[in-house]
Structure 1
Amino acid sequence: MNYGYVKVAAAVPRVKVADCKFNAREIEKEIIIAEGKGVQIIAFPELCVTGYTCGDLFAQQLLLEEAEMELIQIVNNTRQLDIIAILGMPVALNGVLLNTAVVIQKGKVLGVVPKTYLPNYKEFYEKRWFTSAVDVSETSMRLCGQVVPMGANLLFEMADTTFGIEICEDLWAPIPPSSSLALQGAEILFNLSADNEGIGKHNYLCSLISQQSARCIAGYVFCSCGFGESTTDVVFAGNGLIFENGSMVARSERFSFEGQVVISEIDVEHIRTERRVNTTFAACRAHCAPESAVRVSTEYVNSKELNLTRTFEPHPFVPQGAALNERCEEIFSIQVSGLAQRLMHTHAQSAVVGISGGLDSTLALLVCVKTFDKLEWSRKGIIGVTMPGFGTTDRTHTNAVDLMNSLGITVREVSIKEACIQHFKDIDHDIDIHDVVYENAQARERTQILMDIANQTNGMVIGTGDLSELALGWATYNGDHMSMYGVNGSVPKTLVKHLVKWVAENDMDEASRATLLDIVDTPISPELIPADENGNIKQITEDLVGPYELHDFFLYYFLRCGFRPSKIFFLAARTFKGVYDEETIKKWLQIFFRRFFNQQFKRSCLPDGPKVGSISISPRGDWRMPSDASSEAWLREVGSL
């Protein structure tokens, strides 16, 4: 299976200006390299057959004839290859000259795409030599002895995808041709460019490509001229850039003196899912897309074994590097703003939070503290309630109390042991049987205490459960599952730890910082089962439901991308190679899908809470699923892995 991936390449060959024979051999060499690596479509820079900087030599008949003769050689020399190649060259047509992209495969010219927007400002003088596609009425032409379709509106259809082409300045237009091509079905867009360099221009270029690929919900492959073009007035760095729906997946080395082939994969399956989900895309297609595309069929490309060059972050919810601090600040601000609005709207006089000494309740408490500070309310209006039970350890209890004291909030401690013992007697449950009744009774007793204290103080119970727990149903129904406002409801577990650490390291006193960092290092546990003989946590969540880093990985690609189990397994096995073996991944993937479907009834009645990222499972927001939907198809596919 190729799992919906199409392997593409952006080639930046060495070039000699006006030496078509040299350029053709370099092009052939890179086509062959790409074919050997399983590339299905390769694109080359604008006017790569002649060189972009030929200037008035474009008026020379010899250069134009040389270009076509060398194109014939490239077509003949690659006729045994399945790969589709897109080359830039000047083409004469009925008294005008066109700046074109020529698509070839298996000895055939499939089509010719002329450039639409010709830059004629500053260092560019293209209208001196070329005519725009809009000024040409012909829809076909003779090239290399073949009559082929010609126009800016060509769509090339493969078994795996449909692609379209634009050339350099087309991308800079207010409405690029690629927008129309995407609305008419192009899933991958190619741009043959001769983009020269200038201070700050590269970042602008990357931003432009990112935005266009995102707006079009498409893959975007950009390749521009490199070393060998004339440097009389400008310099070309050789940019090979591959984007998918706003994200860069591969790039070339800039200013290289050697030819390069940048290879990656475009996930067209993901693109199709995104387009189906995004109703605005469909609406724009209905109202804006012209019915003028000419569809060109390509030859079948024999499937090769998928050798994925793309890498995937094991923690897709957690940004890397400097972006992590920025993301943490933004998420925390969203949580604070959401809570502030709810407190003011309800005229609440207090915020009641159950503090366990674990990560989730700590994050909820920190959100409350920041909210009260921004509202200029006294922190004493935050009532932190620690409720030690049968499984509470000294470490978590001490951290809970120390944190509340150092933050200056109101501290209350209510033991649930006696109440639960009485409850077990009332329902005739053996206290020595540590089953689901034993565990859930404690969670519900704690929730009752919080709700009643909120009533006492005209306050709100602030929920602590996170996105990962809610996805797995790892919450007691009408226990910790319930609150009056859930500030962590769309924050995944793998990100909670980073948020708490970020707060600890920013604007926190020394005592609070020390406690927060110890909480970050504490094993995740509901602490509903008594500790071991040494007083350590005995009930570790990840031993029971699986590693949260795996579940968050599954969750992201299931909900955000709509991937099927086999594709998620493929990516997880690749991403976590050396960390988890395939049997372990399969085991937890099966548990993920079983729990996700079976526990929907808990998510169907979640309290309000702010969405902070790309995924939310609020029944009022991103995720609407029947509580009795069958998981059979998903579990069957996992079982077949």
Structure 2
Amino acid sequence: MGHLTTIATCSLNQWALDFEGNTERIIRSIQIAKEKGAKLRVGPELEITGYGCLDHFLEGDTYLHSWEMLARILEHPDCQDILLDIGMPVGHRNTRYNCRVIILNKKILLIRPKLFLANDGNYREMRYFTPWMRSRHVEKYYLPGIISRITGQHKVDFGDAAISTLDTCLAAETCEELFTPAPPHANMSLDGIEIFTNSSGSHHELRKLNKRIELMTHATKSCGGVYLYANQQGCDGDRLYYDGCAMIGINGRIVAQGSQFSLNDVEVVTATVDLEEVRAYRFAPSRGLQAVQAPAYERIDVDFSLSATGSDVDLSIRPTEDVKVRYHTPEEEIALGPACWLWDYLRRCGGVAGYFLPLSGGIDSCATATIVHSMCRLVIADCEKGHQQVIADARRICGEPESSDWVPKTPQELANRIFHTSFMGTENSSTETRQRAKDLASVIGAYHVDLNMDSVVSSVRSLFTFITGKTPQFKVHGGTSAENLALQNIQARLRMVLAYLFAQLLPWVRGRTGGLLVLGSANVDESLRGYLTKYDCSSADINPIGGISKTDLKSFIAYAARTFDMPILTSFITAVPTAELEPITKDYVQSDEADMGFTYDELSAFGRLRKTAKLGPWGTFEKLLHEWSGKMPVSKIAEKTKNFFWYYAINRHKMTTITPSYHAEQYGTDDNRFDLRPFLYPRFTWPWKKIDETVKKIKEREAESKKDI
């Protein structure tokens, strides 16, 4: 029969600085956990404040309000008789820490600071917090008066310790600690700690979930034990989407897994586990030899049991069976992650009536529109399930009065209320792109505006001629490269101006209040190459595809055509990508890949080598010699490498003003936070010389080989 205990972890849609809302969601998760019979509840990292407070973690108010909210949890009648692991920032001896606060029945048992901080990529935790560099060390923390009056405690333990109940022992890890080469749970397990909790603020990235699950299952496969993983879910007010997927594992097996993408604000995952399974799993001589030498953790004793004993045992309760871990395909991740992010962004922006998208008839704006359609599908699905928060948000965004009982029935009905698109054509636009845009808007249900902007473009061009006496011409009409580029940019930038005009006034035209958020649709590869006009319609409020490669977007559109039953999408896949900013002649049609000098697959390769593999021009060239030899001559590899870094350097300044994008790729270009590089570069003279010398030597060797033959 063993020692059976029911435990709970959760995914919460917390919002930075939403102290009361965050606390309500924490309490609701505790209520659900208790309803399911759990004796332990674990929550996400920094759940009281929200993970993404950034520099607000430097403010004293953030710490004060955290204690005030913890006081609410301590006193709440539904938060008793269950062991709670709560995340919040704590100041100790004038130093800021990212902490777990372990509480039970109006008492604080332990404040456990994070040992290893996330400090790369999207994360700058060491800007706000100090890591607790004293493993297994515990000292006293003096509680604020607002807490002492509730708990009757003047001081509590602060540090790296374990909680010892009447029937087991548990300890906390926090997010990054699981990803380190020597994670704390390894030493914890050798000291007999049987339950590990991991509270995380882990963002979604394409193809990332498998790494998280592999690390978690390996933790208990090698060490034995029960592992509870909690995570934030939703948009925390920034570029990241936290993708939930709370899990419970035991001895290398997963017994419970939550959803990865959800519109629910609170999701609680529970499982019943047998502690005797952990003890049996660990009975190995080699482990015992290491365990007797392992340094001990200080244990904080608590008169509480996670499992029932004697007459309290319910013989009908059995251990939870293993589950098959669910992974989404990259195409599904694109359909779900950015869609959930867009919904959170929309419902949390006060006075916003929906989204506006310049719909060009190309695959990028098509992908953005399809993601909005996916968002509408998710909302309708939750409305059909009766999720009251989603229904209330839909009514409010659509301008329905509080007394309304209206509920959207189809994605198209919802889209017609909140999604607005426009094809902004010129004399350089083709009838095919115009029709594709119109047809797609119709299928999705968007409120669509079709217009020609030639008169506006002509007015700007005429103004320049009036002032300077010169009339710029396109290259196909005999103009210079400078004239050609300037005339393209006039169209691109005017589209941005018109987009914001329509976004502000279309709700008014339709008898609604509020404005629309403008959506951008520049993909990560074009941003990397700088193949966009600064302050054109790539400049928007937010961009759901700004961190997604063109290759993945094509796969997503093919997936959506099948899954969403939208055959119109196949015409976007087969269309040649083109900006349509130059005149079309019988001998010339502008092509994006021809303009850039790279295929989109090649740009993805350069992006990963530059950012993920951390290679400069020379290192990239060396790597590509191995990967691309046989596909193209070495001189071509050298040319593409030099051209890529040259274009990257001269266009880097565009990334300082790039629209905030959903972060989905490890080689994202966001200059403001993720990709911290200069935007004024010198010439790459030394790497260029090394590349040229290598090409020369390779060609000489090839010539010698031919002579020998």
TM-score of the superposed pair, with normalisation by structure 1: 0.48
TM-score of the superposed pair, with normalisation by structure 2: 0.44
Q: Flag the structure with larger Rg.
A: 1
